[in-house]
């Protein structure tokens, strides 16, 4: 019980930021569309670029994000086809996005720092890069297809700056490029803004929620993907790697497992808002998953981690 309560106290400050976002949307008329645009087009690309450039250059730089990108893409395809059984509108597209994503950046990185410390941050960034790459390519395409043709959806993906920031970051990393302390400090500030604005976006979405935003079928499907399918899949990968393949370091396992159980991605709200694909329903589902995670994550870490992780 001590471990459980300690984890809750470490996670709780993130929810205070969500509450501030709600107040800003409810009483100051702050628009979630403006915050979403700032995150998508300015802040996220800089954070991703810096995350790539400052990573350690070895095979895991490619393997870990590629692994999570692949898993995310497979899950999005599976849940898109499941969604077609229930909806004809944009719900199936947003469900596909949520099935492959998670709030690894805005929520996950601060969570890793709070629970494991700075020494695990680089692993968390690598894992997050794979999911960010998914969200800004396959995932974004799925949401765009809710209201646009395949060609128009593909063009919208190509306009996302995060993709290009990732590629440029890989080039800089290969050239062993580094920044001076002033520039590094600036990037650190953007990383803080990334987490704060991302969590506030959940609160901003909450401010616009109505009864029509609640869809129990959609909620159940999204929760199943995020809180059941994802951790089971990652636990399977950890087992296979630790017993057969030995491609990853055991140092990576706790972070991989933790980032598999974070709530639904705040970018669901950002992208759904920008593309006008059931943004209120997306916001309610993300908020519900974030509230659920307040109890789910401490319970999972306290009781499942010791059973799953080797050693």
Average pLDDT of the chain to the nearest whole number: 86
Tell me the per-residue pLDDT of 7-63, one tens digit each, with 9 for 90 and over.
777 778 878 888 899 899 889 988 888 888 888 889 988 888 887 887 765 665 678
What domains can you pick out in the chain, each with its CATH number?
Answer: 2-302 (1.20.1530)
Question: Among candidates 283, 281, 287, 253, which has minimal Cα distance to 270?
Answer: 283
pTM of the predicted protein model: 0.86
pLDDT at site 3: 64
Q: What is the DSSP letter of 119?
A: G
Q: How far is Cα 222 from Cα 218, in angstroms, rounded to an integer?
A: 6
pLDDT at site 57: 59
Question: Among candidates 274, 266, 272, 261, which has minimal Cα distance to 301?
Answer: 261
pLDDT at site 71: 96
Are 224 and 78 contacting, i.e. CB atoms less than 8 angstroms apart?
no
Tell me the per-residue pLDDT of 153-162, one tens digit each, with 9 for 90 and over.
999 899 889 8
Question: Among candidates 277, 293, 18, which has minimal Cα distance to 153?
Answer: 277
pLDDT at site 5: 73
């Amino acid at each position: 019980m001590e471990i459980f309560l300690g984890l809750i106290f470490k996670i709780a400050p993130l929810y205070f930021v969500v509450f501030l976002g709600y107040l800003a949307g409810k009483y100051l008329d702050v628009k979630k569309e403006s915050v979403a645009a700032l995150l998508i087009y300015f802040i996220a690309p800089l954070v991703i670029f810096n995350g790539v450039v400052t990573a350690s250059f070895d095979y895991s730089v490619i393997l870990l994000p590629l692994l999570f990108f692949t898993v995310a893409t497979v899950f999005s395809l599976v849940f898109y086809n499941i969604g077609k059984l229930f909806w004809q509108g944009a719900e199936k597209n947003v469900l596909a996005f949520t099935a492959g994503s998670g709030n690894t950046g805005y929520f996950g990185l601060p969570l890793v720092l709070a629970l494991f410390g700075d020494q695990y941050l680089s692993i968390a960034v690598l894992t997050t890069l794979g999911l960010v790459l998914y969200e800004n390519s396959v995932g974004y395409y799925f949401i765009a297809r809710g209201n646009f043709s395949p060609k128009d959806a593909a063009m919208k993906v190509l306009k996302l700056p995060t993709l290009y920031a990732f590629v440029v970051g890989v080039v800089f990393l290969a050239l062993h490029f580094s920044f001076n302390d002033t520039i590094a400090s600036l990037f650190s500030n953007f990383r803080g803004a990334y987490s704060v604005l991302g969590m506030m976006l959940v609160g901003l979405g909450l401010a616009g929620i109505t009864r029509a935003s609640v869809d129990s079928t959609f909620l159940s499907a999204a929760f199943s993907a995020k809180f059941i399918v994802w951790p089971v899949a990652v636990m399977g990968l950890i087992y296979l790697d630790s017993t057969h393949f030995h491609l990853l370091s055991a140092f990576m396992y706790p972070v991989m497992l933790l980032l598999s159980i974070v709530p639904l991605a705040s970018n669901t709200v950002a992208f759904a808002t920008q593309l006008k694909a059931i943004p209120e329903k997306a916001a309610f589902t993300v908020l519900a998953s974030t509230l659920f995670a307040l109890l789910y994550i401490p319970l999972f870490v306290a009781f499942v981690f010791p059973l799953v992780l080797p050693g």
